[in-house]
Amino acid sequence: MSTLDILLQQLANGLILGSFYALVALGYTMVYGIIKLLNFAHGDLYMCGAFIGFLFLSLVSGLLGESWGGILCSMILSMITVGLLGVLIQRVAYLPMLAAPRLSILITALAVSMVLSNGVMALTDGEYEAFSTDLGFEGLEMGNVFVTYTQIALVVSAALLMVTLFFFINRTMYGKAMRAIAIDQDACRLMGINVNKVITLTFFIGSALAAAAGVMAGVYYGSVHFFMGFVIGLKAFTAAVIGGIGSIRGAMLGGLVLGLLEAFGTQIPFIGSEWKDVFSFGILILLLVFKPTGLLGKTEIERM
Amino acid sequence: MSDVILEIRDVETYYGKIHALRGISFSVEAGEIVTLLGANGAGKSTTLRTISGLNRAKAGSISFMGEEITTKSPHEIVSMGLIHVPEGRRIFKGMTIKENLELGSFTLKDESERRRRMEHVYELFPVLHERRQRDAALLSGGEQQMLAMGRALMTDTKLLLLDEPSMGLAPFMVQGIMKIIKRLNAEGVTILLVEQNAKAALKLADYGYVLETGEIVVKGKAGKLQQDESIVKAYLGE
């Protein structure tokens, strides 16, 4: 393979990885934007999404098969279930803590994360589950670069979800209310907006997007595991910070940038794929030093 | 006699441990302009915040159009047509002027009604129409006040609470805002106006109340208050 081919192949890999990061980063950034909470349980919702998708797929596979029909159906069901799980977490764990000091709710989020990952560990005996599908390995070959149809479908689905979200946030009343709440909650109350209802909706959407990414990751990697949410949670947080936390466009951009950097990072001599996590968190540290507001974030003094 | 649209009875409100309102009672009749005057910290803004539900009254009762609203949440109160334009305007900076106005119509379900009201606001404040696609943060202080008032008129507004609309504005802007208030009142909106600029407020109002440390100390027809020099000197610092 020529250098150009390698770069193109990494571009494809980076886009796929980046779409997962972006989908998860969106939930991080939306929740942060609206109640200034770093929801550390968000990566675990991605993991739950993968497992619930896996469960639904085994339920519907008799009827719809384990190909696109079954996968799409189980992905939608997983998004709804995990969306409701996110709402439940918000109501039970976060709502009572909103008036408490910021640190208390942050620690609550860590606790929720542990409850979810350990809960799933107990249920699955900590085993890897094979996420088997009937998707083939056919794909497009362009020169020496090879991309499977599955990979293309994953990137396209992620893009569709993001475009839908973008439309919702910018064009619908509830989407605008969501952005307005991130700016001034009391003013929103005076517009007649039921702020708690919009916060609940935000949790639903953010969690559903994480679930979608979880199912996609299950399809892509072929297995699911209770610990799979941990690293992606940190990576998605990194992506959200790269883009500028609180910014929707920033999360999409940050996810793609991080995915691409990681993919290309594996090609740098002496770094290689074992060092890719060090590479991405190194980027986070550099960014925090030189541009702490992120690529699209606004300068704002924020207490934590 | 016309109808009482807002009735406040023995309302007490606390800010943490501070006893901000110490049992105030007053009423506003439909179609009137009523003004609440007083020095900084007298409790004027707290009164408005308690009416619109942002702060809870610890004692007493508030009723709007005959319905008790003391324990209702702000979004329920807004949907009844009681709209509060808060101190400092609180427009949504980072969103366009058009989006700010649309948010004002959040409780409206009917799209054509929304458009009709937006036309009306653009007619009242042509500068908002000119800049409708621009970030609200780029507006001047007076224009931000216009946007805040316009946003409050995007729904079926029956009673408008205005908190210091003239604050920080150039004199000609103050005049412009006062003219608009008068026009809105003529169009049927009842107005409860909180002002530091007592002269301008009394010129406009039918009735006035003066607050001091959480209590109403003087009340009367605006014309009378205006002429009573001792009141003006003692409470309004003019």
Q: What is the ipTM of this complex?
A: 0.93
Residues near A291 by Cβ (< 8 Å), separated by ≥ 6? none
pLDDT in tens, B204-217: 999 999 999 999 99
Decide: helix, strand or coil at residue B116.
Answer: helix
Contact B124, B64 (CB under 8 A): no
Which parts of chain A register pLDDT below 50?
301-304
Q: Quick check: B163 and B84 in contact, CB under 8 A?
A: yes
Please name which of A273, A11, A258 lies closest in space to residue A142, comparing C-alpha atoms: A11
Contact residues on chain B for A172, CB-CB shorter than 8 A = none
Question: CA B163 to CA B11: how far, in whole Å?
Answer: 19
> What residues in B contact A183, CB-CB < 8 Å?
92-95
Distances (CA, A) of B130 to A48, A99, B58, B114, B134: 49, 41, 45, 18, 9
pLDDT tens per residue, range A16-29: 999 999 999 999 99
Yes or no: say if B74 and A189 are a contact pair by the CB < 8 Å rule.
yes
Select from A173, A191, A299 the residue whose CB has the most chain B CBs within 10 Å, as the one to mutate to test that interface.
A191
Beta strands in chain B (DSSP E): 4-15, 18-29, 33-37, 59-64, 67-68, 82-85, 159-163, 190-194, 207-212, 215-221
- Whether the CB-CB separation of B208 and B35 falls below 8 Å is answered with yes
Spell out, as residue ranges, where chain B has pLDDT lower than 50.
Answer: 1
Residues of A in contact with B102 (CB under 8 A): 173, 176
Measured between beta carbons, the chain A residues lying within 8 angstroms of B54 are 186, 189-190
Q: Does A180 contact chain B (CB < 8 Å)?
A: yes
Phi, psi of A184, deg, nearest 5: -160, 100
Q: Give me the pLDDT at residue A144, please.
A: 82
b/e per residue, A7-35, with b = 16+ CB within 10 A? ebbbebbbbbbbbbbbbbbbbbbbbbbbb
Q: The tokens 């919009």 sit on which residue? A: A198
- Residues counted in chain A: 304
Asked if A173 and B100 touch (Cβ cutoff 8 Å), the reply is: no
Residues 146-185 of B with CB under 8 A from A: 151, 155
Scanning the structure block, which residue is given the tokens 């993919």? A263
Q: For residue B89, give how far its alpha carbon lies from the nearest alpha carbon of chain A (Å).
A: 9
Which chain A residues touch B99 with a CB distance below 8 Å?
Answer: 176
What is the CATH topology of the domain spanning B4-236?
Rossmann fold (3.40.50)
How far is residue A223's CA from residue A53's CA, in Å, rounded to a whole number?
Answer: 12
Answer whether A190 touches B (CB < 8 Å): yes
Q: Is B43 at the interface with chain A, CB within 8 A?
A: no
Which residue in chain A is spatially nearest to B111 when comparing CA positions?
Answer: A173
Determine the pLDDT at residue A302.
Answer: 42
Residue B74 touches chain A, beta carbons under 8 Å: yes
Task: Give how far B231 is from chain A: nearest CA, Å.
Answer: 34
Q: Check if B115 contacts A (Cβ < 8 Å).
A: no
Contact A189 B93 (CB under 8 A): no
Q: Does A189 lie at the interface with B, CB-CB under 8 angstroms?
A: yes
Find the closest chain A residue to B151 by CA distance: A191
Distances (CA, A) of B120 to A211, B97, B140: 45, 15, 21
What is the rounded CA–CA span in Å between residue B119 and residue A135?
A: 55
Coil, strand or helix at A56: helix
| pLDDT per residue as tens digits for the range B60-96 | 999 999 999 999 999 999 999 999 999 999 999 999 9
Q: Measure the CA–CA gap between A9 and A131, rounded to whole angstroms.
A: 25
Task: State the pLDDT at residue B207.
Answer: 96
Contact A192 B78 (CB under 8 A): yes
What's the confidence (pLDDT) of residue A304? 37
Using DSSP, state whether B63 is helix, strand or coil. strand
A184 touches chain B (CB under 8 A): yes
Nearest residue of B to residue A197, measured between CA atoms: B75
Residue A6: the pLDDT is 85
Tokens representing residue B33 in the block: 């302009």
Cβ proximity of A295 and A250 under 8 Å: yes
> So where are chain A's domains?
3-290
Name the phi and psi angles at B20, rounded to 5: -75, -40
Beta-carbon neighbour count of residue B12 at 10 Å? 16
A12, A77, A207, A215, B171 from A124: Cα distances, Å: 33, 20, 22, 17, 72
- The architecture in CATH of the region A3-290 reads Orthogonal Bundle (1.10)
